[in-house]
Amino acid sequence: MTAPSSPVTSRQTGPHPRLAETVLKHAAHPWRKPVAQHSLQEFGALSPLVESWKGPLILDTGCGTGMSTAVLARKHPDSLVLGLDKSVARLDRQAGPFPDNARLLRFDLEDFWLLAAAAGWKFSRQCFYYPNPWPKPEHRLRRWAFHPVLPTALACGGVWELRTNWEIYAQEFAQAFGLLTGVTTKLEPWNPAEPETLFEKKYQLSGHALWRWEGTVPEINGTATTPTR
């Protein structure tokens, strides 16, 4: 993990011109993918803990080895922090000791958000730390900004935070969030004194410029919402 990594390169020189069209299509047509049986089982096993939890809930999406999950749990001791990743190999590399108010779980985020939104779960924060950038324009549908699950994830609410080493990824994410919520946000350069995720550490050691973005999902009558278009 300490080997230097190359900065992201792409044929894209700015946000993809078809971003708005894709996001608005997803806003108009809620995603109805069938949820996998194993996700239903994992969600069922997690539900008693979440539903009996009295404090805030935080979601660390694509948490990898869970370094950031542990950092978040220590920063927010009154919160239950769920670190979710689809890679068992990454989750198995979790470094201990791990705070009592954090859990690392194997989940496909797409299934998790569909189930969490249907169950009415609300998060105080949803963290997107260094998601895979998929920099080839033809792979853009794999980026979260272009993903049909994004409106469902928004229904789970919270303050959203993205960190990335590709500025265009953050610009697209901010643009998608703005289209879905009507909220205008800004990116900032990010250079933490102590890295909080394994990829943050690797990119800092490699001298990459890092970016941070934050946006709050608006609530109407206590319910996170997306504007109708």
Ligand X SMILES: C[S@@+](CC[C@H](N)C(=O)[O-])C[C@H]1O[C@@H](n2cnc3c(N)ncnc32)[C@H](O)[C@@H]1O
| Binding stretches for ligand X (CB under 6 A) | 62-64, 68, 84-87, 90, 108-110, 129-132, 197-200
Residues in the chain: 229
Cα angle, residue 169 at apex, residues 164 and 23 outer, rounded to 5°: 135
Please report, as a single letter, which amino acid is at residue 14: G
Bridge partners for 127 per DSSP: 60, 161
Q: How does DSSP classify residue 93? A: T
Residue 45: CB minimum distance to ligand X, A = 17
Closer residue to ligand X, CB minimum distance, 16 or 143:
143
Residue 116: CB minimum distance to ligand X, A = 13
Between CA 114 and CA 185 the distance in angstroms is 25
The torsion angle over the Cα atoms of residues 108, 110, 112 and 114, rounded to 10 degrees, is: -160
Number of alpha carbons in the 13 Å side-chain half-sphere of residue 8: 23
Residue 142: CB minimum distance to ligand X, A = 8
Q: SS3 of 95, please?
A: coil
Between CA 118 and CA 133 the distance in angstroms is 28
Closer residue to ligand X, CB minimum distance, 159 or 183:
159
Closer residue to ligand X, CB minimum distance, 212 or 225:
212
Residue 128: CB minimum distance to ligand X, A = 8
Q: Which two tokens stand for residue 78?
A: 């009154």
Q: Which residue is nearest to ligand X (CB)?
A: 62
Residue 113: CB minimum distance to ligand X, A = 10
Closer residue to ligand X, CB minimum distance, 169 or 177:
169
Closer residue to ligand X, CB minimum distance, 47 or 204:
204
Closer residue to ligand X, CB minimum distance, 36 or 182:
36
Q: How does DSSP classify residue 53? A: -
Q: SS3 of 104, please?
A: strand
Between CA 95 and CA 106 the distance in angstroms is 16
Residue 86: CB minimum distance to ligand X, A = 4
